[in-house]
Amino acid sequence: MRIENPEPPERTPRPEDGAPSPPIYFYYPPGIGDGDIPESRGEFARNRPGNYIWTVKTCGYLSKLGFPCRLTHQLPDEGIILTHREFFTNRMIPNRRQVFVCLVADFWRHPFAQLHIVQNPRDPLLTHASPAWPAAFMRHWPETGLIPRDPARGDVFVNVSYFGLPTRLAPQLRHAQFAARLFEDLGAGFQSGAQLVALAGRISAYPV
């Protein structure tokens, strides 16, 4: 006679088990094409703005590692919702089932986000931390498609380039005297602002 083992009784949940993890979303407003969504190979569209990199690329890398998260065009009604500061309008207020994580990058804080992610360890949200607006530091992702520097070149630099917004470049570095001194001391050229716009699409091929 064959005896079937009875099904084990369901275990009563215990307090130490904790609550189930809430769903995690990366919100990117409508407008991004399916071809820009990272595939299993981890490829991303080039020459996209910071809001794309902070949302789509972060979600893609986490998904590739097996972390449970989703990219969505619709703002979910519940869960942990991460998005770039440009996509979190000041009128967006989280409800009791939502946690807003604002990817500030180098912008300004959101008035109602429960957590901010900054890309500068000296951001005022960290150096002048407040319990009302907690923040954490995360490095910016490398630009897609950059050509790795040849180690054989050692410490030789040919070009020094500033890729940020012109208004955020230190005033001392905007003067022609700085470029002249850089060339005199290191033999390197300096490019910023309109010069880099003219090099768009080719800058990754420039020696650095």
Please give the helix or strand (H or E) that residue 55 lies within, else none: none
What is the per-residue pLDDT for 175? 77
Mean pLDDT, each 10-residue run in order, the chain (208 residues):
41 56 88 56 66 85 87 91 92 93 88 91 85 86 78 81 74 80 77 49 37
What is the per-residue pLDDT for 37? 59
What is the per-residue pLDDT for 33? 58
Burial class (CB in 10 A: 0-12, 13-18, 19+), 61: middle
Please give the helix or strand (H or E) that residue 159 lies within, else none: strand 159-161
168: Cα within 13 Å, side-chain hemisphere: 6
Q: What is the pTM of this model?
A: 0.66
Cβ contact 78:98 at 8 Å: yes
Burial class (CB in 10 A: 0-12, 13-18, 19+), 48: middle
| Cα gap 90→113, rounded to integer Å | 10
Q: Which of 121, 122, 79, 120 is nearest to 101 (CA)?
A: 79
